[in-house]
């Protein structure tokens, strides 16, 4: 899906449909339920399903010290939204001019004039306009006056708690519970980076790793994980070490990906990695031989778990 950056670039066929506005960070199951209602509304009005999101997140401009790392980058977000049935994603380049718009100005200029919305779908905690002055009730009034249909979607609860990006962020960053997070997301948590040269220690131990740097999304807690390396059109089982190498007194945190049964070079290439489950904590071993034996068990478990996931059996 092509991401639209500026409203001046909006094609005519992207106007006159149903619109949802929000950050949609992570594209979780709560978002999926809202998008299902958006797609249904778009069909009712005979137009496209359009998501208007922000790049960067407004908090990054207003309070950068309080802005958490994102769960998804923009094009990944658009890909996931497209899978749910969204026709167009507008990733507006957030600036101070946009953030100064009052709720009414934002609604009139963006929703009505630029997007030509005939319907909107939002969550109950929706806010918009300068200082988040507009809420769902204000939106009801504005849409009623403009003749725009509005639906407020109910939040989704799993295990007695509301599904939210904040909840998922805590699971991943604080606990490394990527398996639990996967149950709340529409796809496994993914990070991306560039493969760089490392110490070459993994290859000497018999388990070469791709050292991934330049990561621009949330980093999971330190640990050893089962994952999938996305290389071209292939999704290959991988064992991932995230953190230090205490056995060798190397305490610098790294992301090291061992792509199982893969012997081609990845240096200098971008790599995207899905996190399927956590295997164990990072710990120090008494000898390289003891470490090798543990890594061998990690690789076997990662391979089995990843293949089970690919088959849809777990």
**Which has the higher per-residue pLDDT, 249 or 226?**
226
pLDDT over 80 at 156, yes or no:
yes
Structural contact between residues 128 and 134, judged by C-beta atoms closer than 8 angstroms: yes
Question: In angstroms, what CA-CA distances link 53 with 37, 56, 110, 163?
Answer: 17, 9, 12, 19
Q: Is 68 among the domain residues?
A: yes
Residues whose CB falls within 8 Å of the CB of residue 91, separated by 6 or more in sequence, listed in order: 3, 4, 5, 53, 54, 55, 74, 77, 78
Give the domain-ending residue among 137, 158, 179: 158
Domain identity same for 89 and 148:
yes
| Beta carbons within 10 angstroms of residue 185's beta carbon | 25
**What is the per-residue pLDDT across 56-106, written as a single tens digit (0 to 9) for each?**
877 777 777 778 899 999 999 999 999 999 999 999 998 888 899 999 999
**Residues 22 and 92 both lie in one domain:** yes
Whole-angstrom distance, CA of residue 130 vs CA of residue 41: 27
Mean pLDDT confidence for 12-32: 97
> What is the model's pTM?
0.94
In a domain, 64, yes or no: yes
214 and 121 co-located in one domain: no
Q: Residue 171: inside a domain, yes or no?
A: no
User: Under a CB-based contact definition with an 8 Å cutoff, are residues 84 and 39 in contact?
Assistant: yes
In this structure, the answer to whether residues 7 and 152 fall within a common structural domain is: yes
Same domain, 142 and 211: no
154 shares its domain with 262: no
Question: Within a domain: residue 240?
Answer: yes
How large is the average pLDDT for residues 185-191?
A: 98
**Which of 63, 56, 124 lies closest to 92, judged by CA?**
56
Q: CA-CA distances (angstroms) from residue 267 to 121, 130, 143, 194, 208?
A: 44, 46, 53, 8, 12
Mean pLDDT of 5-31: 96
Q: Answer yes or no: is 152 within a domain.
A: yes
Question: Tell me, what CATH number does 10's domain have?
Answer: 3.40.50.620
**Do 193 and 100 have their domain in common?**
no
- Whether 313 has a pLDDT exceeding 80, the answer reads no
In this prediction, residue 113 carries a pLDDT of 97
Domain annotation covers residue 54: yes
User: According to the 3-state scheme, what is the secondary structure of 100-117?
Assistant: HCCHHHHHHHHHHHHCCC
Q: How confident is the model at residue 250 (pLDDT cuts 50, 70, 90)?
A: confident
In the prediction, which pLDDT does 65 show? 77
- Name the pLDDT band for 204 (thresholds 50, 70, 90): confident
Structural domain includes residue 213: yes
Q: What is the mean pLDDT of residues 121-143?
A: 94
Residues spanned by the domain of 246 = 188-310
C-alpha–C-alpha distance, residues 217 and 101, integer Å? 29
Percentage with pLDDT > 70 across the chain: 100
Q: Are residues 7 and 153 in the same domain?
A: yes
Q: Are residues 206 and 100 in the same domain?
A: no
Q: How many CA atoms lie within 13 A of 156 on its CB side?
A: 19
Q: Judging by beta carbons within 10 Å of its beta carbon (0-12, 13-18, 19+), is residue 312 exposed, middle or buried?
A: exposed
What is the chain's mean pLDDT, rounded?
A: 94
Q: Are 100 and 59 in a shared domain?
A: yes
Residue 285 domain-assigned (yes or no): yes
Query: How does pLDDT run across 278-309, given as a tens digit for each residue?
Result: 999 999 999 989 999 999 999 999 999 999 99
Asked which of 2-6, 61-65, 68-72, 136-140 is least confident by mean pLDDT, the reply is 61-65
What's the chain's Rg over C-alpha atoms? 22
262 lies in the same domain as 138: no
Q: What's the rounded mean pLDDT across residues 219-239?
A: 97
Question: What is the number of structural domains in the chain?
Answer: 2
CATH of the domain at 295: 2.40.30.30
Over range 153-181, report the average pLDDT: 97
Both 118 and 195 in one domain: the answer is: no
């Amino acid at each position: 899906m092509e991401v639209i950056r500026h409203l001046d670039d909006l094609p005519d066929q992207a106007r006159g449909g149903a619109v949802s506005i929000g950050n949609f960070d992570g594209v979780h199951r709560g978002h999926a339920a809202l998008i299902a209602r958006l797609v249904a509304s778009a069909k009712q009005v005979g137009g496209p399903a359009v998501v208007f999101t922000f790049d960067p997140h407004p908090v990054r401009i207003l309070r950068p010290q309080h802005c958490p790392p994102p769960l998804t980058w923009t094009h990944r977000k658009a890909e996931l939204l497209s899978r749910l049935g969204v026709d167009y994603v507008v990733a507006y380049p957030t600036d101070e001019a946009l953030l100064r718009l009052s709720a009414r100005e934002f609604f009139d200029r963006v929703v009505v004039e630029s997007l030509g919305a005939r319907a909107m779908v939002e969550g109950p905690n929706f806010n918009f306009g300068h200082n988040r002055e507009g809420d769902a009730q204000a939106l009801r009034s504005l849409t009623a006056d403009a003749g725009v249909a509005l639906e407020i979607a109910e939040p989704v609860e799993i295990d007695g708690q509301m599904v939210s990006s904040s909840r998922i962020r805590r699971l991943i960053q604080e606990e490394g519970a990527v398996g639990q997070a996967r149950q709340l997301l529409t796809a496994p948590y993914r990070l991306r980076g560039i493969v760089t040269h490392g110490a070459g220690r993994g290859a000497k131990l018999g388990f070469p790793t791709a050292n991934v740097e330049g990561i621009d999304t949330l980093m999971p807690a330190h640990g050893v994980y089962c994952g999938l390396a996305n290389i071209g059109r292939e999704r290959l089982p991988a064992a991932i070490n995230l953190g230090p190498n205490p056995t060798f007194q190397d305490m610098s945190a790294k992301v090291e990906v061992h792509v199982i049964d893969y012997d081609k070079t990845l240096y200098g290439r971008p790599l995207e990695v899905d996190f399927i489950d956590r295997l164990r904590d990072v710990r120090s071993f008494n000898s390289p031989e003891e470490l090798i034996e543990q890594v061998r068990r990690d690789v076997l478990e990662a391979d089995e778990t990843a293949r089970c996931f690919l088959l849809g059996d777990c």
